Structure 1
Amino acid sequence: MVNFTWKGNPVTQLGNDVKVGDRAPEFTVLANDLSPVTLAESKGKVRLISVIPSIDTPVCDAQTRRFNEEVSKLGNVQVLTISADLPFAQRSWCAANGIENVQTLSDHRDLSFGEAYGVAIQELRLLARAIFVVDTNDKITYVEYVNESTDHPNYEAALEAARAVL
Structure 2
Amino acid sequence: MNTTAITSRLTTGLVALVAGYASFTHIYSVAAEAGERQSVAAVLPLSIDGLILVGTLAMLDDKRSGRQPRLSARLAVAFGIVAALAAKIASAHPTWTARAVAAVPPVGARRRGAVSPGQAGRGPDGQPVSRSGSRRSSLSRPVIRLPPSRSSR
TM-score normalised by structure 1 residue count: 0.24
- Larger radius of gyration between Structure 1 and Structure 2: 2
- The one of the two structures with greater contact order (alpha-carbon pairs below 8 A, sep at least 6) is 1
TM-score normalised by structure 2 residue count: 0.25
**Structure 1 or 2: larger helix share?**
2
